[in-house]
Amino acid sequence: MINSDYQKLLTRFCADLLTVERRSALTVDTYKGCIHNFLSWCQKSDPPIVLSQITVEDVMYFITWCRTKTKGTDELTIAKDISALRSFGTFLVREGIWKENFPLLVDRPRTKRALPRVLSVEQIEELLSVIDTTTTLGLRDRALFELVYSSGLRIGEVCSLLLQNLHMKERILWVRGKGDKERLVPFGPEAHKWLSEWLTEGRPKLVGSRLVPTLFVNYKGSPLSRKGVWKRFQELEAKTGIQAKVHTLRHSFATHLLAGGADLRSVQELLGHSDLATTQIYTHIDNEQLRQYHSDYFPSHGSRHKESNE
């Protein structure tokens, strides 16, 4: 628990992230947890460390403490903590509490980016086919997951999708993504089919006469939460035995587009990536799959190739 002054400062920092830095709510929550730990560490140190007198050595001691406190803390988590501290430092300099942003002097560890998991078209069809569309919630789930795969949406984007931003005739979505960036995304005929059924047969039963702005709602007729989507998808995993996450549908969307001949820039726009390098990871997935297929069907050739390289 941090004292009231630190709590007020943390609240101001979070508000600054949202309004000035235009960070997403998820990023704010992540940074809030890290900075809460940092302020608590300062307060509990012996003697307590005064925030205005922090040095770069103190920041490094905190990072070391984070590593030792949680055994197995990976490099990615440490990198995120340093990013949070850097944002906090920017805020404190602007507030006149720090003269310089000390965390900028601490190097972030280089993290090896793992290739995201991708499902085949057949696996996606199997996942979606086990949804019981004779029920209202099943109809919603089929429409929702079809749309995520058809448009490559993030889970937060599909949960916050407004009715007014769905254009059924044109088969176009107006999506608000990370950093409040907006983009137009098309969706396919299969998603259109299930959305039509959800809008005419499912949603009215849950919403009734109330005015609910979001496209997808829960069993109470209220906006559907991220947790609710995760829970429903886990049920599909259990039924099929296919290990995946909701975000895997987005990864699969991008990879299948590129494999089908779509150009990288177009996929970047559809996904809402600000950096093309982020989209390029899906080209590596495709290459990795090709290598795996080759290894499976020509194992002896693969071993000879390895021996010749050695």
Dihedrals φ, ψ of 184, to 5°?
-100, 130
Angle, alpha carbons 292-297-302 (nearest 5°) = 70
Residues 167 and 25 both lie in one domain:
no
Q: Which of 67, 171, 245, 247 is catalytic?
A: 247
Is 193 annotated as catalytic? no
Per-residue pLDDT, 291: 58
- According to the model, what pLDDT value does residue 70 have? 61
Which of 154, 232, 251, 256 does the annotation list as catalytic?
A: 154
Q: What is the pLDDT of residue 217?
A: 97
In a domain, 211, yes or no: yes
Catalytic residue among 273, 293, 304, 305: 273
Number of domains in the chain: 2
C-beta of residue 179 within 8 angstroms of C-beta of residue 26: no
- Would you give per-residue pLDDT tens digits along the chain (310 residues)? 889 999 999 999 999 999 988 888 888 999 999 999 999 999 999 899 999 999 999 999 998 888 777 655 567 788 889 999 999 999 999 999 999 999 999 887 765 666 678 899 999 999 999 999 999 999 999 999 999 999 999 999 999 999 999 999 999 999 988 877 889 999 999 999 999 999 999 999 999 999 999 999 999 999 999 999 999 999 999 999 998 999 999 999 988 888 888 888 888 889 988 878 778 777 766 565 545 544 555 555 444 334 444 3
Whether residue 232 is contained in a domain is answered as: yes
* Residue 115 domain-assigned (yes or no): no
Q: What is the pLDDT of residue 183?
A: 92
| Chain Cα centroid distance, residue 259 | 23
**Residue 178 is among the residues annotated as catalytic for this protein:** yes
- Catalytically annotated residue among 80, 86, 203, 250: 250
250 is an active site residue: yes
Could you tell me the two tokens for 29?
């929550």
- Marked catalytic residue, from 178, 192, 226, 245: 178
CATH number at residue 72: 1.10.150.130
Asked if residue 97 and residue 167 are part of one domain, the reply reads no
Residue 215 and residue 73 in one domain = no
- Confidence (pLDDT) at 259: 82
Q: Is residue 300 part of a domain?
A: no
Do 198 and 269 share a domain, yes or no? yes
How far apart CA 68 and CA 49 sit, in angstroms, is 19
Half-sphere exposure of 139 (CA within 13 A, CB side): 20
For residue 286, with 0-12 CB atoms within 10 Å meaning exposed, 13-18 middle and 19 or more buried, which class applies?
middle
One domain, residues 251 and 201: yes
Is 252 part of any domain?
yes
Tell me, what's the pLDDT at 310? Answer: 39
Domain span at 285: 121-294
Closest by CA to 3, choosing from 43, 63, 51, 33, is 43
CATH of the domain at 260: 1.10.443.10
Which domain-ending residue is among 43, 77, 105?
105
